[in-house]
Structure 1
Amino acid sequence: MVAVALLAWSLTASAAAPPRLVVVIVADQFRADYLTTFASHWRAGVQTLLRDGANFRRAQYPYAYTDTCAGHSTIATGTLPRTHGMIADSWWDHETNLLVDCTDDEAASIISYGSPLVVAAPVAGRGATPAGGRGAAPVGGAGNSPRNLLAQTLADELRQQRPGGRVVTLSLKERAAINLAGHSGDAVMWFDEAAGTFATSSAFASAPVPEVTQFIDASPYVKDVGFVWTLRDPSTTYRNRDAGVGERPSNPWSGLFPHNLEGATAAQYANLWRRTPAADVYLARMATALIDAYRLGQAENKTDFLGISFSTLDYVGHQFGPDSREVEDIAAHLDDVLGSLIAHLDDKVGRAKYVLAFTADHGVAPVPSPAKGFGRLTLDDVRERIEETLRNRYGPPDKDAHVARIYYPNVYLSPAIRQRLAADPLTVRAVQDAVTSLPGVARLLYTPELSDRSRDPLVRAAALGRAATRSGAFLIVQKRNWVLGPRGTADATTHGSPYDYDQHVPLILLGGGIRRGTYDAAAAPTDIAPTLAALAGVTLAKVEGRVLQEALLPDSQTTRR
């Protein structure tokens, strides 16, 4: 039914000239409530989106576990994790007995745009440069690719159904850039954390892309070495105080502004730089350079695709929390970044000739506060409680442990235990009772019992996010405002829950064919790809979202000059 509706709308919408450029912008960890909470800071990009765009105020993810890989894959494909397969940033592979990152591919190689920084030496005050020359050949070892993505993206369909268009995606995270692009792309770029350089994959290119090389050579990110992160606005305009309780800033920073990059070692520099507004500015500058180099959106009868995922808010949010001055200020700086990017698109392409979607891959929980009645539970406690229960019921394992791995929210068991539990509902209940007796655990769901037709909204949400060969035997659901993570985590907080602060995200459309306004109809990030596909006159092979028809202008009112 949804596919038929999408096709019907696509045929109607294609009567108008399709956009020359489709833009998807993801602000990693940007909660929907930030749009109003931080409203006093909007004077550029966010202000433009809210004033001129179609704002769906009730947009939220329908599945239970929200993270970067799942979110970007959902946005890009219009399908849910049960379909696109990207259930989490990582999952346990029973065949190899290894934890697999969602874009891991041992057959792919990393193509670097610079050698690693010299770790042993402090970063010089005049500006550091990478040791050695540009990486012109693939780097050995496991790389990244879209091979684990089981659905076609909007960018994939644009390339196949409207040949000749370019696909460019950028992020600080490989799982964001890759999943926005899909299975091919002209420039698919991310920041390689291990090497401290920008990189791509042999899955997309055989050598460094010249247009990207030109930008990086002319403007290496290490030129930000003297950057000092100060407040964008007067301190009296911030609702959040400095040095909040529970913050966990990276060494050598404290919880107080300003935050300085100068004097950091090379290893610290790459880590800290990603946590400053300078990183978002740099990514936007790279995007505008590639818009110009590829002349995105400037050719008739072609539709290019540009995907940008800004990651800094997520890095900062994990360490400082949503109620920190740092998060508030990153959002304020991002407003400027979005403003400059939209202005460049207006100038080079024209507002009526492109369509843009702005959203987030997930939200974030508040920093745990025992005084407020919620706290932190370690996954180690959950694992030990399950292991203890299974040993009491079945005896010690033949080797290793009954619990193979926990990667939140999935609990992976040994093959022998999975088989025994399938015929032993009493032990399943014993495990569930043992875990839910821990503080902070709301439920432990047994995945073979999940159904997307359940009347229990939590069970249904969990089912929408489950892929049988990649999900665990159990799914942990924490209580509201509780945070689960490993012992000794460096994060103050995290995401990945079925609650509004994680699921509720912005969804704003802007550009040609878009009817501006505020919409209270139910919506989800799964609706972005079908809506943009309809405007571009292409169809999606698989779709679980809907076309947001209420925000689209009728043909007689759609003009793209």
Structure 2
Amino acid sequence: MRLSFSSLALATALLVSTPAFADNGAAPAADTAAPAEAAAPAEAPQLILAISVDQFSADLFAQYREHFSKGFARLLDGAVFPSGYQSHAATETCPGHSTLLTGVHPARTGIIANDWYVPGISRPDKEVYCVEDESNPKSTSDEPVVSPKHLKAPTLGDLMKKANPAIINAAVSAKDRAAVMMSGHDTDAVYWFDDKGFTTFEDRKITPAVEAENAALSKLVDAGAGPLPVPGYCSAADRPVKVGDFTVGTYRFPQTAGDYKAYAKGPRLDAATGDLAIRMVDELGMGKDAVPDVLSVSFSQTDRVGHAFGHEGVEMCIQLAQLDATLGTLFDALDARGIDYAVVLTADHGGFDAPDRLDQQGYPAAKYISPTLTGDALAAAVSKETGIVAPQGKLLYGGGSSGDIYLGAGLTDDQRKTVTDALVAMLKANPEVDAVYTADELKSVPLPHGHPQDWTMIQRVRASFDPERSGDVLMMTKRGVVGIAHPGPGYVATHGSPWDYDRRVPIVFWRKGMTHEEQPAPVETVDIAPTLASLVGLKEPAGTWDGRCLDIDGSEADTCAR
């Protein structure tokens, strides 16, 4: 049986020092709350609901917010920060999710990309996935044994459980890396979608709630379904755009009976993710007492739709309308259970539209990256210029988009310098490349602070640079260069650049009783964890977070002064 705490006992339980961090001060006095007519709820919520919408850029949020009528619409009555930032340059799923509940940049989480290379390991492709245990002989970069081992920083759920083990820390997503990065190391339940249903870590078993969701999901997929409805406001986006020998812009997500692959690429999987989140609340007993629990839910399908069809077609319009309904269902379910919950909704990164459509919309400079910038092409060019051939494996790994390039194993120090110099010169001369940095340069740059929209390029790169895992050379492509060398069906647009269309994301907080505020100042996703920590009375020493607590009540009440 779980323990039930009074408000005072709850504050005491959360303010004790943890094994990882010392106490950082006493609890605020109970009589410091603002007057009742202006105050947000003074006690900790029973449930923290942390939501990530994968690839939900600030641009998409601004474009569609007037059309939201269900779940998103409720959140718009809370604290809205339309100019949030994933401040770093590595705007991918794993790094972005790693910042949300750790409160630190990827330079400190150690999650510098979705994948990185370790040229000296025995694995043929030298590639390591961000949430795998590569020491497990069954694990490969394509079929990983999922693990949180690479995450160097504790999440909010980790810290809360250290303060009070009665707290429940759980997560669900269609993507393993999203669920793992948001929940962390000390978890009660973590699930993600794998081929035909939701699954979990190798050493755990799925529970009856997951079995029930998988059975319901299987029934829906086996039955098939017609196209999804197109809201009236989507009409302007409903037109074909030619990409190579195929088109995007008119797809409506019909569900062929038994086609799990198509199901996994469309909006219906978000609905299943939300449904499983509700089942988890019931099965785990979340939000049932005064001990605040943490449920992380990452909705992945905006990202998958964005990659396959871009941002400005009818497909994205349908996707966001469906997600709005899914969020409404989730919130209604929590209301029906009488749970006092606080929500934060944000994204792991933004995204960019297909260059073919951007060209039609007055952005002719947008283009797909040249194949000459892929790792193999760069390696061949550097080898030809220097005469150096890799003694083991390839000369270079990585390339093909903004990010890390690794030198192969077995090179002498002189060879490494020669290859690095030639590579840097070659990249700097390329018209698609904006900036090039070596690892040695980045090591001497301090971690950035201040408003993220003012950061220089090297500061953005430094925020996601880890000397243990990052490449020997880091390449940043120019604005509008999409990191896809060969677009095809299912892959016409992407993210991963250091530019604001990939960095800027909305951050929205909501709790019943809050006073609405719209705050245009730039904030960061690393501000989320300290903000939520204040809501539950968790104190950590200075230096725990890269971010700061945000006052999320638009009245005289100060949610950071608890």
Corresponding residue for 1:457? 456
Q: Which residue of 342, 351, 354 corresponds with 2:341?
A: 354
Q: Which residue of 145, 148, 159 corresponds with 1:146?
A: 148
Corresponding residue for 2:353? 366
Corresponding residue for 2:214? 216
Specify whether residues 240 and 262 from structure 1 end up closer, same or farther in structure 2 by C-alpha distance, changes over 3 A only. same
Which string of whole-angstrom CA distances, capped at 9 and with x for unpartnered residues, describes residues 313-364 of structure 1? 11110011011110111011111111121222223234xx221100000111
Alpha-carbon shift at residue 229 of structure 1 (Å): 3.0
Structure 1: distance between partners of 2:458 and 2:347: 24
Matched, 1:102 2:140: no
Counterpart code for 1:349: G
Q: Secondary structure at the match of 2:50?
A: strand
Q: Secondary structure at the match of 1:349?
A: coil
| Alignment coverage as a number of residue pairs | 508
TM-score, structure 1 length as denominator? 0.82
Corresponding residue for 2:92? 67
Q: Secondary structure at the match of 1:316?
A: helix
Structure 2: distance between partners of 1:291 and 1:518: 30
Q: Which residue of 87, 98, 104 corresponds with 1:79?
A: 104
Query: Does the CA contact (< 8 Å) of 1:152 and 1:540 recur in 2?
Result: no
Corresponding residue for 1:403? 396
Q: Secondary structure at the match of 1:527?
A: helix
Corresponding residue for 1:93? 118
Alpha-carbon shift at residue 8 of structure 1 (Å): 6.2
Q: Which residue of 293, 310, 321 corresponds with 1:332?
A: 321
Q: Which residue of 243, 262, 275 corresponds with 1:285?
A: 275
CA RMSD of aligned residues (A): 3.2
Identify the range of structure 1 (93-102 vs 177-186) with the bigger mean alpha-carbon deviation. Answer: 93-102
Corresponding residue for 2:182? 180
Counterpart code for 1:518: E
Alpha-carbon shift at residue 179 of structure 1 (Å): 1.1
Structure 2: distance between partners of 1:453 and 1:101: 25
Corresponding residue for 1:438? 430
Q: What does 1:28-427 align with in structure 2 at a 5 Å threshold?
A: 28-50=54-76, 52-96=77-121, 98-106=126-134, 142-193=144-195, 196-202=196-202, 205=204, 207-217=205-215, 220=218, 222-223=220-221, 225-234=223-232, 237-246=234-243, 255-263=249-257, 266=258, 269-300=259-290, 302-350=291-339, 353-369=340-356, 372-378=364-370, 381-383=373-375, 384-406=377-399, 408=401, 409-417=403-411, 419-420=413-414
Counterpart code for 2:476: V
Q: Secondary structure at the match of 2:296?
A: strand
Structure 1: distance between partners of 2:351 and 2:365: 18
Corresponding residue for 1:501? 501
Query: Does the CA contact (< 8 Å) of 1:19 and 1:354 recur in 2?
Result: yes
Corresponding residue for 1:26? 52
Alpha-carbon shift at residue 214 of structure 1 (Å): 3.6
Query: Does the CA contact (< 8 Å) of 2:352 and 2:495 recur in 1?
Result: yes
Which string of whole-angstrom CA distances, capped at 9 and with x for unpartnered residues, describes residues 501-536 of structure 1? 101101000015744210122211111111101111
Query: Does the CA contact (< 8 Å) of 1:513 and 1:535 recur in 2?
Result: no
Corresponding residue for 1:131? none
Matched, 1:520 2:509: no
Q: Secondary structure at the match of 1:229?
A: coil
Identify the range of structure 1 (92-101 vs 81-90) with the bigger mean alpha-carbon deviation. Answer: 92-101
Counterpart code for 1:522: P
Query: Does the CA contact (< 8 Å) of 1:221 and 1:282 recur in 2?
Result: no
Specify whether residues 432 and 483 from structure 1 end up closer, same or farther in structure 2 by C-alpha distance, changes over 3 A only. same
Specify whether residues 550 and 212 from structure 1 end up closer, same or farther in structure 2 by C-alpha distance, changes over 3 A only. closer
Identify the range of structure 1 (326-335 vs 442-451) with the bigger mean alpha-carbon deviation. Answer: 442-451
Structure 2: distance between partners of 1:297 and 1:20: 5
Structure 2: distance between partners of 1:421 and 1:401: 14
Specify whether residues 448 and 276 from structure 1 end up closer, same or farther in structure 2 by C-alpha distance, changes over 3 A only. same
Q: Secondary structure at the match of 2:121?
A: coil
Query: Does the CA contact (< 8 Å) of 1:247 and 1:255 recur in 2?
Result: no
Corresponding residue for 2:10? none
Query: Does the CA contact (< 8 Å) of 2:47 and 2:342 recur in 1?
Result: yes
Alpha-carbon shift at residue 413 of structure 1 (Å): 0.6
Specify whether residues 75 and 12 from structure 1 end up closer, same or farther in structure 2 by C-alpha distance, changes over 3 A only. farther
Query: Does the CA contact (< 8 Å) of 1:54 and 1:509 recur in 2?
Result: yes
Structure 2: distance between partners of 1:297 and 1:523: 29
Q: Secondary structure at the match of 2:533?
A: helix
Alpha-carbon shift at residue 44 of structure 1 (Å): 0.8
Counterpart code for 1:238: S
Alpha-carbon shift at residue 377 of structure 1 (Å): 1.4
Query: Does the CA contact (< 8 Å) of 2:250 and 2:315 recur in 1?
Result: no
Query: Does the CA contact (< 8 Å) of 1:107 and 1:143 recur in 2?
Result: no
Which string of whole-angstrom CA distances, capped at 9 and with x for unpartnered residues, describes residues 80-101 of structure 1? 1110111111110233152111
Structure 2: distance between partners of 1:405 and 1:327: 30
Corresponding residue for 1:133? none
Query: Does the CA contact (< 8 Å) of 1:109 and 1:202 recur in 2?
Result: no
TM-score, structure 2 length as denominator? 0.82
Specify whether residues 346 and 107 from structure 1 end up closer, same or farther in structure 2 by C-alpha distance, changes over 3 A only. farther
Structure 1: distance between partners of 2:265 and 2:50: 22
Structure 2: distance between partners of 1:423 and 1:282: 51
Which string of whole-angstrom CA distances, capped at 9 and with x for unpartnered residues, describes residues 436-481 of structure 1? 3334222222222021368971001101101112111111211111
Alpha-carbon shift at residue 164 of structure 1 (Å): 1.1
Query: Does the CA contact (< 8 Å) of 1:377 and 1:439 recur in 2?
Result: no
Query: Does the CA contact (< 8 Å) of 1:452 and 1:461 recur in 2?
Result: no
Structure 2: distance between partners of 1:473 and 1:83: 18
Structure 2: distance between partners of 1:423 and 1:538: 48
Structure 2: distance between partners of 1:333 and 1:202: 32
Query: Does the CA contact (< 8 Å) of 1:391 and 1:397 recur in 2?
Result: no
Structure 1: distance between partners of 2:101 and 2:176: 14
Corresponding residue for 2:39? none
Specify whether residues 231 and 466 from structure 1 end up closer, same or farther in structure 2 by C-alpha distance, changes over 3 A only. same
Q: Secondary structure at the match of 1:449?
A: helix
Q: Secondary structure at the match of 2:100?
A: helix
Counterpart code for 1:498: P
Structure 1: distance between partners of 2:387 and 2:25: 57
Amino-acid identity (%): 27
Specify whether residues 449 and 390 from structure 1 end up closer, same or farther in structure 2 by C-alpha distance, changes over 3 A only. farther
Structure 2: distance between partners of 1:557 and 1:524: 17
Which string of whole-angstrom CA distances, capped at 9 and with x for unpartnered residues, describes residues 528-559 of structure 1? 1111011111235731111002547666999x
Identify the range of structure 1 (270-279 vs 58-67) with the bigger mean alpha-carbon deviation. Answer: 270-279
Q: Secondary structure at the match of 2:182?
A: helix
